[in-house]
Amino acid sequence: MEDYSHNLPFGILDVANLLGLNIRKEQAHGVYTDCPFCGDARGKFFLSTVKDMYRCNYCEASGGILLLYSRLCNKSKYDARCEIEERLRIPSQASDYDYKVNVRKKAPKTINSALAPAVDVHDTLAELLNMLTLSDYHRRKLRVRGLTDAQIGKLGYKSTPRMSDCKLITDKLLALGLTVQGVPGFYERSDGAWTMCGGSWANGFLIPYRTIDGLIGGFQIRLDVPLKNKNDPPDKEGAKYIWLSSASKHMGVPPNSPVHFVGNPNAETVYITEGALKADVAHTLSGRTFAAIAGANNTGKLDALFRILAANGTKRIIEAEDMDKMSNENVAKGAARIIAIAEQNGFECRSLTWSTHKGIDDWLLSRMQQQTMVTASAA
């Protein structure tokens, strides 16, 4: 528990706003967001406005205001308070001595690394993909989405490694002179050796998130078995996607959560959807340019991308999130935020809707299949 949580001149929601956490659900005593530590996207990260504490109901990361900021920004609690007060324009009364004493008494259980430079992260993750293979099971799953083997290979999907192979793979990366410290998914074990996260709970295939420059910034895992909490009802759908993250491990790092980009960086029209896999499939089926955020409300990094696109000559942004935006208030808010950010950057904007399928990838695949049937009938 934070020693200074009830003496601070700001609350946990102030810090959540500074960190760009998107609120999924509001309650009388707090709010729920996606977890910035493990990447779980089911809104299981609770921020208590009564106790000024946080806790993830999946990875069990927990603590107070300053620990939240210090862990995610790789700062001491004292530096975290000073930076928060500076960003909120609050005169600081923090004592460096007092914080050093308390940090010595209650050091955090987990120390995170700083995120490695983008090029180093890319080089390591790209080589990791070269060391992995794609199982026949996962290849069939991707073919069903309308992708050919050549397209699957170009996009770089690979099956997650076995837990027993994680240390060996890490050793090979290090032997090649590549960086693993500060790369999402890698961490230092208690014996000082480096390895990567894995286990049966994370079985699935890796989906690279690439920036507009083509650099891999992280992976999402499409899980074979969706994750569910033990108390969830049987009919509740679990999480299908998680980040490859080592935020809860010693010297690990949270996922960078970049906006995924696929297509022409100079395209006049860019479509915005949810999830890199959906964007990849939609781009492959249509030839259009897509950007994908990791979740319906993870719009915090769109502004930076839109500034680049504006300089590149892009004229219009088309919001193409899933059709549950018509019935889910949180998704609707995310879609509206995409439009608002695009308009602030001077783009023409509109939302894309359809009535027969959930996502734009499903809609495009259905159209392609219908056209194939018409052509076959004509022949």
Distant-in-sequence contacts of 357-361, Cβ < 8 A, 24+ apart: 357/323, 358/322, 358/323, 358/324, 359/273, 359/274, 359/278, 359/322, 359/323, 360/271, 360/273, 360/278, 360/282, 360/320, 361/145, 361/146, 361/277, 361/278, 361/281, 361/282, 361/285
Radius of gyration of the chain (CA): 22
The Cα 58–Cα 245 span in angstroms is: 13
Q: What is the pLDDT of residues 351-364, one digit of tens each?
A: 998 776 678 988 88
The Cα 270–Cα 297 span in angstroms is: 18
Residues pairing with 219 in the sheet: 208
Q: What is the pLDDT of residues 34-68, one digit of tens each?
A: 888 887 788 889 998 888 899 988 877 888 888 99
The Cα 197–Cα 211 span in angstroms is: 23
* Residue 320 predicted with pLDDT over 60: yes
The Cα 42–Cα 59 span in angstroms is: 12
Q: Report which of 225, 127, 235 is spatially closest to residue 172, judged by C-alpha positions.
A: 127
What the block records as the tokens of 39 is 């990447």
* Residue 285 predicted with pLDDT over 90: yes
Confidence band of 228 (pLDDT split at 50, 70, 90): confident
List C-alpha distances in Å: 297 to 23, 309, 328, 374, 378.
Answer: 8, 20, 12, 39, 44
* Residue 288 predicted with pLDDT over 50: yes
Q: What is the mean pLDDT of the segment spanning 89-107?
A: 52
Q: What is the mean pLDDT of the segment spanning 168-182?
A: 97
Average pLDDT, the chain: 86
pLDDT score, position 372: 66
* Residue 10 predicted with pLDDT over 50: yes
Beta strands in the chain (DSSP E): 23-27, 30-33, 45-48, 53-56, 62-64, 158-159, 186-188, 194-196, 204-210, 216-227, 239-243, 260-262, 269-274, 289-293, 316-319, 348-351
Q: Report which of 1, 250, 255 is spatially closest to residue 110, judged by C-alpha positions.
A: 250
DSSP symbols for 61-90: -EEEHHHHHHHHHT--HHHHHHHHHHHHT-
pLDDT score, position 227: 79
Domains with residue ranges and CATH for the chain: 12-105 (3.90.580.10), 118-243 (3.90.980.10), 260-378 (3.40.1360.10)
The Cα 133–Cα 346 span in angstroms is: 43
Confidence band of 84 (pLDDT split at 50, 70, 90): confident
Q: Is the pTM of this model over 0.75?
A: no
Q: What is the mean pLDDT of the segment spanning 311-318?
A: 97
* Residue 364 host element (H or E): helix 360-378
Q: What is the mean pLDDT of the segment spanning 303-325?
A: 94
pLDDT score, position 73: 83
Q: At what angle do helices 166-175 and 118-131 cross, to 10 degrees?
A: 120
Q: What is the mean pLDDT of the segment spanning 5-9?
A: 63
Confidence band of 297 (pLDDT split at 50, 70, 90): confident
Q: What is the mean pLDDT of the segment spanning 246-262?
A: 87
What the block records as the tokens of 293 is 């955020």
What are the phi and psi torsion angles at 160 (to 5°)?
-65, 145
DSSP symbols for 205-247: EEEEEE-TTS-EEEEEEEEEEEE--TTS-TTS--EEEEE---T
User: Which is higher by pLDDT, 83 or 302?
Assistant: 302
